[in-house]
A and B are shown apart, each in its own frame.
Chain A
């Protein structure tokens, strides 16, 4: 299981291991890396027995998302011991704090086998960070869309309640919601939600 330290020559394709339990983000990153020409790619969704799998695959670069508690398992690869014969280095050198900061802010970390040239690793890191950020934007947009949809539904329901109980037409019902929101300094959606909740409560 222990392999001698072997450094890839300049032209050898880098062996990249991606560990990410999120299927969508994993796919986004995998596509990006393949399109960028990193064909020697292994993708793991489950990090059980991580250290053994890392030694079996013997990757040059390991990318792991920060949501994974098994990230700590990789930290022991900095040590030389009976189980760690091929230590990793810090993923960029000391001068590259900005890269580390960007990676951590994007929610990802990388481990690089000692001895790799920085420029080989740089493009992988940049790609990973940008794909993680793209995923995060997607996730935020999706959440915003979801909550906007939910709000629209609540406002529709509140309008319906007002139309029925106050005998208003749709425009007047919306106007009443809007005015109430303005005079109480709240959002229309919040006023609508309050109304719907109270209505449900009264209805029993």
Chain B
């Protein structure tokens, strides 16, 4: 098989991998609306079944670029869980967009233990701690939570939330990896009590009447880098014109997708069987940030449920990369080191974004002062992660 470089130069299509999730919107729209073609790129979108496959195929050169979990881009660069392959992220495909969904039974248990309104993660985290303690006292098995990957924002959001209420995610519950398409089935079969996943799977579970959306992750953290457009660093350095064309097409696609009058068309594009393959109505709710959170029809709306480029979300934010690295440190996936932090942060390339799209495009409108806006703890300090993590008693050592 020819190297990616020769493929690109010989006029073969670029191969870009993706997982069927709504935060692949900018990528799918860029290709299916013809924005990449107008940039002179011939793109072959390849739907994948696992994050491991996306990572491996990108890292060994079978993919030229990929829709990738932001923490996986960092993990690959640091050589965690795989051989070391430096990646770069010149465009942020999605900020936020996940939700924590719990079975009807766990929802009732949390509501029963809640001291305050369950829309607040501080209230639910403490209630969860009481549910966990009650189960332990009664000799019941620990609750099982599903998430998508060890190096995923979902993993860190779940852990951050429950640990703030005193629940140790490694000792007090079972936290297991479940591929997104199996999340709903696992609830139906009683194999998990809750999960954290991206759209559309939370809505699918609520629509089936078997679960409640407890939180949008934007209630836990106002801004978390979720998925990035990732490329191998050496490939990007050798093919700057391809990177520029891709980023331009993504900028345009993100802008198009965020325009409310285009939502219906975007939902139709994403709903295609070879893209996400679920009903356009379900996708539309995600794009509009208006989700049915309970089988009784209750709707919760948030202007920051999922950001696809608006409010500067397309511009990779190094503070958010630092936050992800801090979570890897907190949960024992990597030791704390200034050198590693620097490498992790350098995966995000706002400099490329600015050079290609102009600095004004990525200017954040509003958003939290510390760049992440967590519901608990002091403001995030990207400059001093060790000090920032010090107050958290529930943590692991690498």
Interface check A178, CB cutoff 8 A? no
Whether B82 contacts A71 by the Cβ 8 Å rule is no
B60 cross-chain contacts in A, Cβ below 8 A? 97, 100-101, 104-105
B51 close to A (CB within 8 Å): yes
Residue A94 is within 8 A (CB to CB) of chain B in the complex: yes
Which of A69, A78, A79, A81 is the one whose CB lies under 8 Å from B50?
A: A69
* CA–CA, A82 and B170, complex, Å: 5
Which residues of chain B are near A80, meaning CB under 8 Å?
332
> When each residue 171-193 of chain B gets 1 if its CB lies under 8 Å from chain A and 0 otherwise, what string results?
10011111101100000000100
- Whether A104 touches B83, Cβ cut-off 8 Å, given contacts A72-B50, A72-B177, A75-B177, is no
CA distance A66 to B83 in the complex (A): 18
Query: How many Å lie between the Cα of A28 and that of B170 in the bound state?
Result: 40
CB of B49, distance to nearest CB on chain A (Å): 4
A94–B51 alpha-carbon span in the complex (Å): 20
The answer to whether A71 and B52 have CB atoms under 8 Å apart is yes
| Chain A residues in 8 Å Cβ range of B177 | 72-73, 75-76
Query: Residues of B contacting A73 with CB < 8 Å?
Result: 176-179
Q: Count the A-B residue pairs with Cβ separation under 8 angstroms: how many?
A: 79
Residues A72 and B57 in contact in the complex (CB < 8 Å), given A81-B170, A82-B170, A90-B82: no
Instruction: Answer whether residue B62 sits at the interface, using C-beta atoms and an 8 A cutoff.
Output: yes
* Given A78-B150, A83-B174, A90-B83, also A72-B56 (CB < 8 A): no
Give residues of chain A (25-83) contacting chain B, Cβ–Cβ below 8 Å: 49, 51, 66-76, 78-83
Binding site for B on A (CB under 8 A): 49, 51, 66-76, 78-83, 90, 94, 97, 100-101, 104-105, 109
13 A–B contact pairs at CB < 8 A?
Answer: A66-B50, A68-B50, A71-B49, A72-B52, A72-B179, A73-B177, A82-B171, A90-B82, A90-B83, A100-B56, A100-B83, A104-B56, A109-B56
Given A75-B150, A100-B83, A109-B52, 14 more pairs with CB closer than 8 A: A66-B56, A69-B182, A70-B179, A71-B49, A71-B52, A72-B179, A73-B177, A74-B52, A75-B177, A82-B170, A83-B174, A94-B79, A100-B60, A104-B60
